[in-house]
Chain A
Amino acid sequence: MQRRKVIGLAGAGVVGAATAGAVAWRATGGEAEPAAPAPDRISFYGERQAGIVTPAQDRLHFVAFDVITKDRAALIDMLQSWTAAAARMAQGKEAGALGAVGGLPEAPPEDTGEALGLPAADLTLTVGFGPSLFDNRFGLRARKPAALADLPKFPGDTLDPALSGGDICVQACANDPQVAVHAIRNLARIGMGVVSVRWSQLGFGRTSSTSTSQATPRNLFGFKDGTANLKAEETALLDDHLWVRAGDGPDWMTGGSYMVTRKIRMLIEPWDRTSLLEQETIFGRDKGEGAPLTGKGEFDEPDFAARGDDDEPVIATTAHVRLAHPTQNGGARMLRRGYNFVDGSDGLGRLDAGLFFISYQRDPHRQFVPVQMNLARRDQLNEYIRHVSSGIFACPPGLRAADDFWGRSLFA
C-alpha cells in the first residue's frame, strides 16, 4: 500500500522533481516529459494511445488480466497506479520513484530492476478493456460498445479458453525484449489482489509495418504479408478505418480503437516440406520480392482478374492475398501489428511457433470479422495454421496529461 501511495504521489506531481531519495538512474531531470523526446522514447501522452500507429517495434510482451476484486474503487485505484508507473517506464525510468535500489533495505524494491541500465527502447504500453469487464461487477453494462461484442466462432477455430479473452489487456512493445518484459512484470505486480494474469504472450519479431518508413517484415512462413496495411502517414484512411468517431458508440471510446488478437499456431514442419510453387500459390505472392503473382514489385496492386495461359486466375481464388484484400471485403481495412512467436518446442519435437496477430480497427465486426470469415472458409493456408487464442478489447483514446489515467472516461 505504501508503494501505491508513493506511485500515486509521483503520478499526481509528475512535473515536480523526483521524490527525495529517488535514484535518477536514466533521466537526469524531473519527471516531466522533455519537450522533444529522446530518440528512443515514445511520448506516453497524446490524443491517441501510443503503440497503435507508432512504428512497430521489434518486440512484444502482451498480457490479458482477469479482474479478481469486486471493489470498483480498488480497480480504479490500480488503474491510476498503473498509469503512473507506465508513464515513468515509457521514459525509461523505474516503475516507482524509489526504484530498484533507492528504497529501505528492509523493504522489497519498488522496481524489479532488470531494466536498470537499459534504454527506454521505444517502449509503448497500450491498454484495452475486454467484453467481460462490462458484466454487472462494476456497473459498466450500459457503457459497453456494440463494437465490443464477442467475436463469432469462425470455421476451424481450435481456441483454448484459458488462452483467450480477459477483462483488461496491456500490449507492451519495445525494441529491447527485456524492457517489454520488465514493464509487464511490474504492472502485474502492482495489480496483485486486483487483477490476475489470465494469459500472456511474448513476440520476438514484428510481422507488420505501421509506417511507410518501415520495410515489410516476414512471417515464419518466410513471406511478406500485410503489405496493404494501414500506415501512420495515411491520416484520412486512419480516420475512416482505425479511429472510433463521435457517434460510433459510447463517448468514452471516441478517439480510441478496437483491438483483436489471434494466436495463430503455424504447422512449420509440413510447410517447410511444401514446394516453392505451392507456397507461392497459397499466398498469391512471390516469396523473394513479396510481389503479387500478377506484378513485379511488392507494392504493385494485385490484378485479381488476370488469367494465365491455362485460363485459370493467376492469383488463385483461394489465395491468401485475394481473400484478405480490401477489394474482396467491401473495402475493409485494418491496422495490423502482429509478432512472430516461438514458445520453444512441443512434446513431439515440433516448433511451437506462429503469428501472434494483432489488428486495430474502428469496428471489428465490420472489418476483422468479414475478412476472417472469408479466410476461415476458403484460405488454402488453413491447412498449415491453427487459431488457438482469441481476444477483443476496446482501447480508449490517449491520455492528455499526468492527471489523466487509463479508464478515466470509462469509469467517469
Chain B
Amino acid sequence: MRTTRLLALFAATAATVPLAACGGDDAGSDASSSGKITVAASDTECTVASAQSDAGTVTFDIANKGNKVTEFYVYAPGDRVMGEVENIAPGLSRELIVELAAGTYETACKPGMIGKGIRNAFQVSGSAAPLTEDAKLAQATKDYQRYVKSQTGALIEQTTAFVNAVKGGDIEKAKTLFPIARTYWERIEPVAESFGDLDPKIDAREADLAPGEKWTGFHKIEKDLWVAKDVSKSGPAADQLLVDVRTIVDKANTVTLSPVQLANGSKGLLDEVATGKITGEEDAFSHTDLWDFAANVEGSQAAIAALRPALEEKDAALVKTLDDRFAAVEAALEKHRDGDGWKLHNTLSQADLKTLSDEINALSEPISKVAALVAGK
C-alpha cells in the first residue's frame, strides 16, 4: 500500500480493475435500496453521501477528485476489511460492492495510500441473525479470499508496470516500482508459498540457489538494477516474472485457506519479518526490506482480521493483546517512514533493528496461540 504518486501514471492505463468482489452468503435477495452511495475523495477530504444503510448489498461509487492516488475501505470493528478498492487514480471513479450485515462500520479514504486514512462512521441497520461459530469461521475464509483477490489484482497491475519499466530500460522508474510491486506479493506470500516451485521462481534470493540452478524472479532483476545497473539483457527475466506472477495469481484465486491455515499464515508472515526483513537478507541489493516488512505485517493483520469475529468469542483478551501489539509494531515501523515509503534497511542502526525485533517477537508469541484456538479443540 506504500505507493507513490508515480502510480497515477499507469494505474489509469491498467487493464484490470481490482474490484472487491462481494462476500457473504447467498443473501442475494435485493439490494438495500435504490441508489449507490457516492464518495467524493480528495487529498484532504472523504465525503460519504450517506452515513447509514440497510443491511445487504451496499454499493459505493468513489470519485477521486484529488491529486494523489487513493484507496477506499469499509472496515468492521478492529479494522477488519469488509471491502476495498485500491489504486484509484486522480480523476477516476470506481465502484465498491460490499455485503454488510447490521452493525457499526467505518469507511476510509486513503489519499497517498498511506496511514489510517480519513475515517467516517457508517451504520448498517436491519435484522441479520448473528453468525454461529462455524459460520464465523466460514466467513473468515471468505473474507480472506476477498482480500487475496484484491491483492492479487494489484499485484498484477504493479508487476506489469515494473516489467514494462525494466523492458523500457527506465532504471530509475523500475527501482521506484520494485518495492511497490513486492508489497502486494509479500502481503499474500503464505498463499503463494502453497504452490511449490512457483514461489522460488518468483522470489528466490541468489543465496537460495543450488549450483547450476537458474535464477529468475524479482531478486534477479533487483541485482540487474542496483548492482549491474544494466537491464539491457533483463527483458526475458522480466517477461518470465510476469508470466509466473499471472500463473500464481490464477491459482491463488482458486484456493480457500482453512481457518487454521489463516492463523498459521499470520504467524508465518511475522516469521518472514523476523528471519528475512530485520536482517536485511530479503532485498540485499536495494535495501528496500522495510517495504516488505510493512507488507508482511499488513498481510498478517488481514488474516487475523478475517478471523476476528470467531476469535472475539473464543478469547477476547487475546484479541485485545493482538490489537495492542499490532499497533506497537506499526508505531515502531512508522519511525522509519520516508515520504510515502520507507528508509533503506542499511540506514537503520542496530538499536533501531533491536526495537523492531522486540516488537515483532512481542506480537508473534500471542499470534502463535491463534491456530490452536480456531482449531477449536
Contacts and interface: CB of A to CB of B under 8 A. Distances in A.
Contact of A107 (B315, B363, B369): B369
15 contacts: A1-B369, A2-B315, A68-B358, A103-B372, A104-B372, A106-B372, A107-B368, A192-B361, A192-B362, A193-B362, A193-B365, A193-B366, A194-B362, A196-B358, A196-B361
B365 A189 contact: yes
A3 interface: yes
Contacts of A194: 362
A104 B375 CA distance: 9
A1 B315 contact: yes
B268 to A, nearest CB: 13
A1 B318 contact: yes
B204 interface: no
A108 interface: yes
A89 to B, nearest CB: 19
Interface of B: 260, 315, 317-318, 321, 325, 354, 358, 361-366, 368-369, 371-373, 375, 377
Interface residues of A, number: 14
Contact of B371 (A68, A106, A196): A106
A196 B325 contact: no
A268 to B, nearest CB: 28
Main secondary structure of the interface of B (DSSP, over half): helix
B372 A1 contact: no
A68 B260 contact: no
Nearest to B314: A2
Nearest to A3: B369
Contacts of B362: 68, 192-194
Contacts of B318: 1-2
Contacts of A68: 358, 362
Nearest to B325: A193
Interface string A96-118: 00000001101110000000000
Interface centre among B317, B325, B358, B368 (most CB of A within 10 A): B358
Contacts, number: 45
Interface string A30-73: 00000000000000000000000000000000000000100000
A193 B357 CA distance: 10
B321 A1 contact: yes
Contacts of A196: 354, 358, 361
Closest 10 pairs (CB-CB, A-B): A193-B362, A107-B372, A106-B375, A106-B372, A104-B372, A192-B365, A196-B358, A106-B371, A192-B361, A108-B368
B187 to A, nearest CB: 24
A342 B321 CA distance: 40
B274 to A, nearest CB: 11
Interface in A181-195: 189, 192-194
B148 to A, nearest CB: 22
A144 to B, nearest CB: 25
B354 to A, nearest CB: 7
A2 B373 contact: yes
Nearest to B361: A192
A194 B365 CA distance: 11
B377 A104 contact: yes
B368 A193 contact: no
Contacts of B365: 189, 192-193
Nearest to B371: A106
Interface string A192-209: 111010000000000000
Interface centre among B260, B354, B364 (most CB of A within 10 A): B354
A107 B369 CA distance: 6
A21 to B, nearest CB: 11
A184 to B, nearest CB: 15
Interface string A106-132: 111000000000000000000000000
A232 B224 CA distance: 68
Contacts of B260: 106
Interface string A1-14: 11100000000000
Contacts of B321: 1
B2 to A, nearest CB: 26
A192 B372 CA distance: 19
Interface centre among A2, A68, A108, A193 (most CB of B within 10 A): A193
Given A108-B369, A196-B354, 14 more contacts: A1-B315, A1-B317, A1-B318, A1-B321, A2-B373, A68-B362, A103-B372, A108-B368, A189-B365, A192-B361, A192-B362, A192-B364, A192-B365, A193-B365
